Structure 1
């Protein structure tokens, strides 16, 4: 089985992340918003985070995992405590 191109996997993660973030009130424009990508076996993990002065200061907001071969979304998470620290609240809470 051939691996799906990274840009296709990223689009799958982007759509799923956007859907999950739509359940939160707008947290405004964040200057240090960054997309991190790394591999975990056959999964590509996409993290949306706020960069800090040091890597250990980063605030991870979301994480989406996409299987690299079938291109299927495995999981998408919004880290509630991180979102709340930005003043964002769940719309359905």
Structure 2
């Protein structure tokens, strides 16, 4: 902060410098807050995508596995995959 003294052109200049400095601090704070919100949103979105994807991968591995899966079980797993994908 630039000390503001008197009432002349230098006083106005000091006020302007202080205003710009304060504005810059506020902009940086807003940027940091937005960045934190964006990071939190991405983490939540990643979790929301990853959870059903994990189930889809597990059921599809069961269907593609070497052990035979009964047709009624195959239908059940395919339905679950479709449900998780939607």
For the superposition of Structure 1 and Structure 2, which TM-score range results when normalised by the shorter chain?
A: under 0.3
- The TM-score normalised by the length of structure 1 is 0.24
- More relative contact order in 1 or in 2 (CA 8 Å, sep 6+)? 1
In terms of Rg, which structure is larger?
A: 2
Higher helix share: 2
